[in-house]
């Protein structure tokens, strides 16, 4: 029996979990295969964690699928990843419909190959009215790219006279990010053993709880996912306040 079945409080499930899916290549190398074998097996984990998210009523699951820095990888690996994206976006569309999953994407999507972008946009359109889990793929994404573009757009709005400099707040900046219609992540998980954020949701994760696991992404399980949620529910999130203030608010 998983920790979820015993301990997770369904009434206090976080709204948004973001995951850096790391370790595909190293896992494959350990098995004696090339890196694309790891990415292929990582898709099974994506499916499993998506199903787990639907099961507990999570509203947003964001997966760091391909960073802007990943364009610097060997062309053979990039080509393999893009092929996997095309195949699986097409394959999963019916499943998304049946499970009320809405697909979204953030990032510099115009850098994606045409066939990937077209199939992605088609699946996003086909699932746009679904009201369950929003599965967000961060593709050709980096937080510095996102923030840089937000600054440019804010400057443009000021120049057009639609925004005044003195009216800019943290909320304004959030509204110019690609995640403008999403809650900030409550939890950020990184698999694969490295303890770093890797240019992922830097603005949005200011008050997130971070969990780092040595488990490679292809080996990450539903049970470990649920264990992290259980631990999150037992952490005290203070948001700059004292423990006493938090307790008095709850009472």
Report pLDDT digits (tens) over 5-39. 568 898 999 999 999 999 999 999 999 999 999 99
pLDDT tens digit at each of 251 positions of the chain: 465 556 889 899 999 999 999 999 999 999 999 999 999 999 999 999 999 999 999 999 999 999 999 999 999 999 999 999 999 998 999 999 999 999 999 999 999 999 999 999 999 999 999 999 999 999 999 999 999 999 999 999 999 999 999 999 999 999 999 999 999 999 999 999 999 999 999 999 999 999 999 999 999 999 999 999 999 999 875 545 555 545 555 55
| Sequence-separated (6 or more) residues with CB below 8 Å from residue 214 | 192, 193
| pLDDT for the residue 69 | 97
Asked whether the beta carbons of 179 and 201 are under 8 A apart, the reply is: yes
Residue 5 lies in a domain: no
With 0-12 / 13-18 / 19 or more C-beta atoms within 10 angstroms meaning exposed / middle / buried, residue 60 is: buried
| pLDDT for the residue 247 | 56
Residue 4 lies in a domain: no
Residue 163 lies in a domain: yes
Residue 107 lies in a domain: yes
Helix 75-98 crosses helix 114-126 at what angle (to 10 degrees)?
10
Catalytic pick among 22, 99, 184, 186: 22
Residue 1 lies in a domain: no
Pull the structure tokens for residue 181.
């219609």
Residue 6 lies in a domain: no
| pLDDT for the residue 235 | 82
Catalytic pick among 34, 70, 153, 199: 70
Residue 94 lies in a domain: yes
> Starting from the edge strand earliest in sequence, which strands make up the sheet with 102-106, in order?
102-106, 134-141, 60-67, 16-20, 187-190, 209-212
| pLDDT for the residue 2 | 60
| pLDDT for the residue 166 | 97
24 is catalytic: no
83 is catalytic: no
> What is the residue range of 96's domain?
12-250
Structural domain count, the chain: 1
| Sequence-separated (6 or more) residues with CB below 8 Å from residue 15 | 58, 59, 60, 183, 186
How far is the CA of 130 from the CAs of 31, 87, 101, 124, in angstroms? 38, 22, 6, 10
Tell me the Ramachandran region of residue 169: left when phi exceeds 0, alpha when psi lies from -120 to 50, beta otherwise. Answer: beta
Looking up residue 118, the CATH number of its domain turns out to be 3.40.1180.10
Q: Which neighbouring-strand residues pair with 141?
A: 67
Residue 135 lies in a domain: yes
């Amino acid at each position: 029996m998983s920790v979820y079945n015993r301990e997770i409080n369904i009434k206090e499930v976080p709204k948004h979990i973001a995951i850096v899916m790391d370790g595909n290549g190293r896992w494959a190398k350990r098995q004696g295969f090339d890196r694309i074998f790891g990415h292929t097996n990582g898709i099974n984990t994506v499916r499993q964690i998506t199903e787990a998210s639907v099961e507990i009523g999570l509203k947003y699951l964001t997966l760091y699928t391909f960073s802007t820095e990943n364009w610097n990888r060997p062309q053979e690996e990039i080509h393999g990843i893009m092929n996997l994206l095309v195949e699986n976006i097409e394959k999963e569309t019916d499943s998304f419909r049946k499970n009320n999953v809405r697909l979204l994407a953030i990032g510099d999507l115009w850098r994606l190959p045409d066939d990937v972008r077209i199939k992605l946009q088609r699946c996003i359109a086909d699932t746009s009215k679904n009201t369950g889990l929003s599965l967000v793929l961060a593709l050709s994404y980096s937080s510095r790219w996102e923030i840089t573009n937000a600054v440019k757009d804010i400057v443009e709005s000021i120049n057009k006279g639609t925004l005044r400099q003195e009216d800019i707040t943290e909320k304004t900046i959030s509204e110019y990010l690609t995640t403008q219609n999403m809650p900030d992540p409550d939890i950020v998980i990184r698999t694969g053993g490295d303890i770093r954020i890797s240019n992922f949701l830097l603005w949005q994760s200011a008050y997130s709880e971070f969990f780092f696991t040595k488990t490679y992404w292809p080996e990450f399980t539903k049970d470990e996912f649920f264990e992290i949620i259980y631990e999150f529910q037992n952490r005290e999130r203070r948001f700059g306040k004292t423990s006493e203030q938090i307790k008095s608010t709850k009472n």
